[in-house]
Amino acid sequence: MKLFKSTSIFVLSLLLAQLGWQCKGDSKDAKPETMEQSAPITRIEKSAYGNLPDGSHVAKYTLRNASGMEVDIISLGGIITRWTAPDRNGVFKDIVLGFDSLQPYVEDNPFFGALVGRYGNRIAGGQFTLDGESYSLARNNGANHLHGGIKGFDKVLWEAFPGRETDRARLMLDYHSPDGEEGYPGKLDVRVVYTLTDDNALEIDYQAVTDKPTVVNLTNHSYFNLSGDFTHDILDTELQLNADAYLPVDTGLIPTGEIRPVAGTPFDFTTPKTIGRDVEADDPQLRVGGGYDHCWVLKREGPGLAPAATAYHRESGRLLQVSTDEPAVQFYIGNFLDGHLPAKGGGSYGKRAGFCLETEHYPDSPNRPEFPSTRLDPGQIYRSRTVFAFSTR
């Protein structure tokens, strides 16, 4: 395995190697490359995706499984740019929002498909205190800090290591975040592994280590549209969330600290209902967010993976089941999409063209000691895991 720039990420690499995660270091050229597996239709293909303004090359990796699903991931931001899934008749369509080329991801991107960090979601006032020391972060969402700041993990180049296995395609991405980047304390070495299985599940595993106390909350920010038609909004998609409570927010979309039961409110998705059924209800919380843009507290019984969400598009038959070991999921329905961003294949993305299921810890946890902690100390390994599984019915 290739040696990493920092000692901590090398130690983490050794740990993962002991666990049997065999990976091949990526070359610096952008020459198309196919890494065949023992099952010839399960593979990873590398190709060029474009250059950044500083001349850096961005590569695209296409993960293909034996069932015909494909997932395109680029080295910029670990962004999922395309993800195909079959309908009940076996017709594959792309079901995530994104762009046809690199430039829009660089210029004006609402985190389409990206890895988000160091801290997914919002931190109030762009500041927090850790061990008596105050840290100031970029205020890139009004008065607040959002999704890692001005140049978060969604806007950096990750080092890629395509994996080799018989029944799955795997891409490992590494990033070294220096001490003080975007205002966060400590060097942070991050590893994210995307694994596409032959039964149409995409597993996302996150790990990180630090050299001084810091806060970490990583997630993926894919926008789903299970119809495969980006001119069609997602209000007819049926959703069920494994959550009896959610976090009300203030006008800046920062949690108030209350954990409110969903029973009797438009936020009750404990049984399946269409996303659009109650979205226009006369509820102050819906007015604040312009629709759903809130964090749901998941029901859990101990550690490990637990059901988080199920989304079903009745017309196509596509069914998405999300499980995670995180305590919460941020459900967002593209309220701020306004038609100015170009859609893949032509046209533009209108309001509510996609929905997000961001598995994570609670927003503003560094300022809320009563919330589950997002603190990471030296000697600890941050771990998080989410699985997106597709089927039809």
Residues counted in the chain:
393
CA 127 vs CA 188, 204, 368: distances in Å: 18, 29, 12
Burial-class residue 258 by CB neighbours within 10 Å (0-12, 13-18, 19+): exposed
Residue in the structure block whose two tokens are 């995670």 = 324
d(CA 200, CA 90): 13
Which of the following is catalytic: 145, 221, 294, 361? 221
Strand-strand pairing, 201-210 and 382-392: antiparallel
Amino acid making up residue 20: G
Question: Catalytic annotation on 358?
Answer: yes
Is 165 an annotated catalytic residue? no
Q: What whole-number distance in Å separates Cα of residue 174 and Cα of residue 161?
A: 8
Spatial CB neighbours of 390, under 8 Å, sequence gap ≥ 6: 69, 85, 86, 200, 201, 318, 319, 320, 321
Q: Is 274 helix (H, G, I), strand (E, B) or coil?
A: strand
Catalytic residue, from 294, 358, 360, 361: name it. 358
DSSP state of 257: S
Q: Which residues 6+ apart lie within 8 Å of 11 measured at CB?
A: 209
Tell me the helices (H) and strands (E) count for the chain, helix number first: 3, 28
Q: What are the catalytic residues?
A: 221, 358
